[in-house]
Amino acid sequence: MTEQAKPLAGKTALVTGASKGIGAATALALAEAGAHVVLTGRDVRSLEQVEDRIHAVGGSATIAPVDFEENDGIARLAQAISGRWDVLDILVISAAFLPTLSPVTQIDRKEFGRAVTVNILATQALLAAFDPLLKRAEAGRVIGLTSSVGADPRAYWSAYGSTKAAFDNLLESYAREVEKIGNIRVAILDPGATRTSMRAKAYPGEDPKTVKEPGVVSARIVELVVNGYETAHRERVAEPG
């Protein structure tokens, strides 16, 4: 991509879950479009590998390891970012935890608690912590990656689906709260069947080549950020072709 074709030049983006899958692909795509991308996740080595890929294509990135299960993890992340940047233009919430699929009556409480922490509590904490920086942006953009099981309950998926229903509610409520007082716009994106480690965990017998690559989703995210969208925008990423 040429310098003239970098529509996000000068923008700062924060991508959670950036160490792999859709998060990593999105971080790379945003960087290729000119944004400086802050990569967050727990796996430092994987974050460094994503950072290397970004640098290899001439992009700019900073790694900021954080564990959303730590009580002050997001607060420390926000403090570090606000100490370096005055605004945050783009927040992509990709990090999520998938508990073991099971009947409602047999949900593992420890795994369920982890899903609640990562998928719900961390989402609220991210919105609260970065709201001031997003409001300072010329056009703040928040994109949250959801799942169809949040809106359409499915047998054995309740531990994950219930957290995604709450995730969607938090994002849409936030969208309604800020739409009249600034330029922040929120989108909730269902990536659909995508070739990720989470998908492989849920569908161990599936041939990964039968589902789309994360790059299809990341390309759509960049397109949304660049072209804009109405707040509380929701969509499911279409299959390629």
DSSP structure class, residue 172: H
User: Would the pLDDT of 183 be above 90?
Assistant: yes
Listing DSSP states for 11-43 in one string gives -EEEETTTTSHHHHHHHHHHHHTT-EEEE--S-
Please say if the pLDDT value at position 3 is more than 70: no
- pLDDT above 80: residue 92: yes
Res 239 pLDDT > 90: no
Contact 18, 10 (CB under 8 A): no
Residue with tokens 């161990």: 204
Q: How many CB atoms lie within 10 A of CB 67?
A: 13
What's the CATH code, domain 7-236? Answer: 3.40.50.720
- Quick one: average pLDDT of 221-239? 94
Q: Is the dihedral of CA 217, 222, 227, 232 positive or negative?
A: positive
240 or 188: which leads in pLDDT: 188
Q: What is the pLDDT of residues 125-143, one digit of tens each?
A: 999 999 999 999 999 999 9
DSSP-derived 3-state class of residue 60: strand
Share of the chain above pLDDT 90, in %: 95
Rounded CA-CA distance 115/209 in Å is 28
- Average pLDDT score over residue span 198-215: 94
Choose, from 156, 160, 174, 229, the residue flagged as catalytic. 160
In the chain, where are the structural domains located?
7-236
Can you give the pTM of this predicted structure?
0.96
pLDDT, tens only, 10-41? 999 999 999 999 999 999 999 999 999 999 99
Which whole number is the average pLDDT over 197-219? 95
What's the mean per-residue pLDDT of the chain? 96
Contacts of 79 (CB under 8 A, 6+ apart): none
Nearest to 99 by CA among 88, 110, 90: 110
- Reply yes or no on whether the pLDDT at 1 is more than 80: no
pLDDT at 4: 58
Buried b (16+ CB within 10 A) or exposed e, 120-145: bbbbbbbbebbbebbeebeebbbbbb
Read off the pLDDT of residues 151-169 as tens digits, 9 standing for 90 and up. 999 999 999 999 999 999 9
What integer pLDDT is reported at residue 206 of this predicted model? 95
160 is catalytic: yes
Number of residues that this document lists for the chain: 241
**Using CA atoms, how far apart are residues 96 and 183, in angstroms rounded to an integer?**
27
